[in-house]
Amino acid sequence: MTGQMRQFLDATGGLWANGAMVGKPGGVFTSSATQHGGQESTILSFHTFLLHQGMVVVGLPYAFQGQMRMDEITGGSPYGASTIAGGDGSRQPSENDLDGVRFQAAHLAKIGLKLKG
């Protein structure tokens, strides 16, 4: 993840110290400049933070078939939804990328409701 994001997350020490996030679901989505721009490693670096907080990590399961499309450039992996923005940020997320985010968000919300009991 970017240094600025790591610094921001590191400043949330009070949440960790108080256990405020223990048992809460969390998920990550990202964008990068290229297809091989590190989407998965970025998401995985966030997962360690979520786990340190005691959170339940929620990804993008293969139940979302869109992450396996071969007919277009598309983001997404079981670690989380993603998109390719282009080197200058000019590429907008495809409808498939947005569907992946929606799927992951709905999945996260369902798990949150189950955890709430």
**Residue 103 confidence (pLDDT):** 98
Give the separation between CA 34 and CA 82, rounded to whole angstroms.
11
Tell me how many degrees the CA angle 60-63-66 measures, rounded to the nearest 5.
Answer: 75
CB 29 within 8 Å of CB 1 = no
Q: Is 9 helix (H, G, I), strand (E, B) or coil?
A: helix
**Residue 35 confidence (pLDDT):** 84
Dihedral sign, CA of 31, 73, 94, 103? negative
* pLDDT tens, position by position, 11-45: 988 888 899 999 999 999 999 998 888 899 999 99
- Return the domain boundaries, the chain: 31-43+54-117
Among 112, 63, 77, 72, smallest CA distance to 94 is for: 72
Q: State in words which class domain 31-43+54-117 has.
A: alpha beta
* pLDDT tens, position by position, 74-101: 999 999 999 999 999 999 999 999 999 9
Taking the model in full, what pTM does it have? 0.90
Nearest 5°: phi and psi at 109? Answer: -65, -40
**Residue 1 confidence (pLDDT):** 86
The tokens for 115 are: 């955890």
pLDDT of 58 over the 90 cut: yes
* pLDDT tens, position by position, 99-115: 999 999 999 999 999 99
